[in-house]
Amino acid sequence: MKRTLLEVFGGLTAVVVMGSFHHQLARLEAQQQHMATLEHQVADAVARASSPQDVEALRQQVLAATETRLGQLEEQLKKADAGSAHAAGLALEVQRARHEVTTFRNQLSTDFERTKQLVDAYLSEVRTRERDAAQRITATQDAVATLAGQLHRDPNELTKTMLLPTVQLSGDDTVGSGTLIFSDENPTTKKVENYVLTSHHVVRNILADTPRAARDGFDVTVYLPNEKYVVKGRMVASQPKIDAALVRLFTDRKLPNVANVLSREEAARVKVWDPVCAVGCPLGNDPVPSHGEVSSLRNELNGANYWMINAPTYFGNSGGGIYLTDTRQLLGVFSKIYTHGKGNPVVVPHMGLCTPIALVYDWLASEKLDHLLHSSSVPRPDLGQLAAPPR
């Protein structure tokens, strides 16, 4: 490589260093032969170059030498007699040298732009592949988690974590649902306290059609593994704007099944298509589950934002819990069901709105009661569980 470059610049020196310009016109043809020889040497050097960097360096060196020759020719042209054959020859030589410089510069610029385009195209392809790979990984993880959850459906565990925390609230002509979210000892009084999360309109309607409930409390049916336990309850806090209410039960018995509430951080990651389970007491029945998905995360109503689910619900589901199917964590409180028509409204059971648990956190925090929301992390089922079932 070095020898080749020496040969190249040996040829350049022979062209650039001209001792005398006497009889210049006669020597132009000979100089052209020198240039032809130089071009062959450059082409040969480029062919032998071991890397694109070598080629680039060589081109820059040839450009520099050519520009030097151009400067020398222009200086000589200034000193030549105007109109002489000598001056005419030098002008022609200068014109050719300028053309060579322009050619080299254009080639360098073209190569740079071509290289830049190739690099940009490569980087764009890499980013696209990374993005596609990330999307495929996320989709695969979700699919595996869903499959694992389906294959590991333990009826007893599902009942314990979603059906049994459900309670029924009832008045003379009203029935609704609720979810037990706290059953533990109060550190101050040392007595067990029990709290149910429900919808404000459920309690409002009970108090409207059952006047004595404001004084004596209203009936709350708690579902235990082998019995129904009926106690009185009273609303201790409410927020009509988000249709939420907190009911305290008149019992110091510690109840075994309390809902696991989704944390604030996990609630922020809920998305459309997440599978959910709605649990409530439609038409006064004991708690029943229905399955569906999160349909929408944006439904403004009376200044508050509700989530829509497509799990079938009906009258009596109001106040009941909406759970993530795979982790069985409470993500909201069922609030309203869509109806169509005015005279004889038709219920649309797969279009229900629920109060997101994040709004409940905010409300209870303002009441200094957010400690009542019990939240523990629940790992999503993974492929390892599928491959190695417990013994």
pLDDT in tens, 154-182: 888 999 999 999 999 999 999 999 999 99
Residue 147 half-sphere exposure toward CB, CA atoms < 13 A: 12
Same domain as 277, residue 232: no
Percent over 90 (pLDDT), the chain: 48
100: nearest Cα among 135, 148, 59? 59
Same domain as 292, residue 228: no
Domain residue limits at 55: 2-119
Asked if the structure places residue 186 within a domain, the reply is yes
Asked if the structure places residue 219 within a domain, the reply is yes
- Coil/strand/helix, residue 135: helix
Q: Give, in order, the Cα–Cα distances in Å from 137 to each of 324, 327, 363.
A: 21, 20, 37
Same domain as 352, residue 264: yes
Per-residue confidence (pLDDT) for residue 357, from 0 to 100: 97
107-111, 215-219, 327-331, 347-351 — which is least confidently predicted? Answer: 107-111
pLDDT (average), residues 32-40: 53
Same domain as 111, residue 20: yes
Per-residue confidence (pLDDT) for residue 83, from 0 to 100: 58
Asked if the structure places residue 137 within a domain, the reply is no
Asked if the structure places residue 134 within a domain, the reply is no
Asked if the structure places residue 150 within a domain, the reply is no
Same domain as 282, residue 244: no
Measured between alpha carbons, how far apart are the two ends of the chain, in Å? 71
Q: Which residue, 67, 96, 119, sits at the end of a domain?
A: 119
Per-residue confidence (pLDDT) for residue 319, from 0 to 100: 97
What CATH number corresponds to the domain at position 209?
Answer: 2.40.10.10
| Tokens matching residue 328 | 């069985």
Same domain as 210, residue 91: no
Same domain as 212, residue 171: yes
DSSP code for 163: I
pLDDT (average), residues 55-59: 65
In this structure, are strands 192-198 and 218-224 parallel, antiparallel, or unpaired?
Answer: unpaired
Asked if the structure places residue 131 within a domain, the reply is no
DSSP code for 261: B
Domain count of the chain? 3
Same domain as 36, residue 67: yes
Same domain as 196, residue 276: no
Per-residue confidence (pLDDT) for residue 264, from 0 to 100: 93
Q: Which residue, 62, 86, 119, sits at the end of a domain?
A: 119
pLDDT in tens, 92-107: 777 777 777 777 677 6
Asked if the structure places residue 217 within a domain, the reply is yes
Burial class (CB in 10 A: 0-12, 13-18, 19+), 251: middle
Same domain as 301, residue 276: yes
Q: Which residue, 249, 278, 305, sits at the end of a domain?
A: 249
Same domain as 80, residue 190: no
Per-residue confidence (pLDDT) for residue 380, from 0 to 100: 55
Asked if the structure places residue 148 within a domain, the reply is no
